Amino acid sequence: MTDAPHRRGADRTEAIMRTTLELGREIGYANLSIEAVAARAGAGKHTIYRRWSSKGALLLDSLLSLNGPGLDYPDTGDVVADLRAQIYAAVDLLAGASFGPLFQALIGEAQHDSRIAAALNERFIAPQADKTVARLKAARDQGQLSPGFDLDLAMAILSGPLYFQLLITQEPLTHEYVDRILDALFTGMGPRPRP
């Protein structure tokens, strides 16, 4: 009986986050409001504001808690195949019809709200970058990559074109585009024959 209030609180939190995603997909981030979420979720807006300081914070938590990106790397021994599988999953998540526009809006919101930017970096961007660098390091240690290649730079080169296309040109992110990035990068990253 002692965890009944805790469970009710957790259920209420999950209901609010689910409502946020449903409503966000229906009306878009620009039209989303704490008041609309509260009304649909059957919660008081003060309940929501006690947990989240803004609709951006609520959307971030909803996206990452309920649709937490399962973007872990496989390690098949083939770094290009592993990167391809992981980046395909990221592209499907970030550019997908269901949540892509909400992720784009969240990234846009992070440009104006330093708390959202910090939370997005801490909970999504930095962990994904760390996983990518760790996978590249393992490949370098196995001789699949040039020993002197800058792994942090490789991470930036892998992700930069994706965010550029997603946020700036707003062209579709496709698996074919990912293949082009990987082909271009690994032509220059591969180990060089010894003289």
Mean pLDDT of the chain: 86
What pLDDT sits at residue 170?
Answer: 86
pLDDT tens by residue, 160-192: 999 899 888 988 889 999 999 998 888 766 666
Three-state helix/strand/coil letters over the chain: CCCHHHHHHHHHHHHHHHHHHHHHHHHCCCCCCHHHHHHHHCCCHHHHHHHCCCHHHHHHHHHHHHCCCCCCCCCCCCHHHHHHHHHHHHHHHHHCCCCHHHHHHHHHHHCCCHHHHHHHHHHHHHHHHHHHHHHHHHHHHCCCCCCCCCHHHHHHHHHHHHHHHHHHHCCCCCHHHHHHHHHHHHHHHCCCCCC
The CA–CA distances, whole Å, from 7 to 4, 10, 12, 23, 67 equal 5, 5, 8, 24, 20
Closest Cα to residue 129, out of 161, 94, 107, 158?
158
pLDDT tens by residue, 10-22: 788 899 999 999 9
What pLDDT sits at residue 31?
Answer: 93
In the chain, residues under CATH classification 1.10.357.10 are 79-189
What percent of the chain stands above pLDDT 70?
Answer: 88
Q: How confident is the model at residue 68 (pLDDT cuts 50, 70, 90)?
A: low
Judged against a pLDDT cut of 80, whether residue 116 lies above it is answered with yes
pLDDT tens by residue, 123-132: 888 988 999 9
What kind of fold does domain 4-56 have according to CATH? Arc Repressor Mutant, subunit A (1.10.10)
What pLDDT sits at residue 74?
Answer: 81
Judged against a pLDDT cut of 70, whether residue 94 lies above it is answered with yes
116 and 60 Cβ atoms separated by less than 8 Å: yes
What kind of fold does domain 79-189 have according to CATH? Tetracycline Repressor; domain 2 (1.10.357)
Rg (CA), the chain: 20
In the chain, residues under CATH classification 1.10.10.60 are 4-56
